[in-house]
Structure 1
């Protein structure tokens, strides 16, 4: 039982760091996707405005 607890104690920090890394990367990917969507919306609005002023 002591061996199991020692192995578990050795794995918990690695799992914790892995979980934190996963959460950080997930947040970064979601932020990037949302920023790209916002930029696409801005570009579409600018294109509509440009078409309206030249016509």
Structure 2
């Protein structure tokens, strides 16, 4: 009877734990991809600003 209790407890908690783990992995992937995208966007923006600064020096007048 005690064995049945623990087996029922494990089988009752398993779906919740598995869904929680899947949710955690999905959220982790989303957050990491967002961070990677922001880093790439910052790098591209810095390159564009540097290119713009080379094309138009700060001392030049219009």
Q: Which residue of 1 aligns with 2:20?
A: 18
Q: Which residue of 1 aligns with 2:60?
A: none
Give 1:41 deviation, angstroms.
0.1
**Which aligned segments of 4 or more residues in structure 1 are displaced greater than 4 angstroms?**
none
Instruction: Give the whole-Å Cα distance in 2 for the aligned partners of 1:47 and 1:19.
Output: 42
Q: Which runs of 5+ in 1 are unaligned?
A: none
Q: Which runs of 5+ in 2 are unaligned?
A: 58-62
Which is higher, the Rg of structure 1 or of structure 2? 2
Q: Helix, strand or coil for the counterpart of 1:25? A: helix
Higher helix share goes to which structure? Answer: 1
TM-align CA RMSD: 0.4
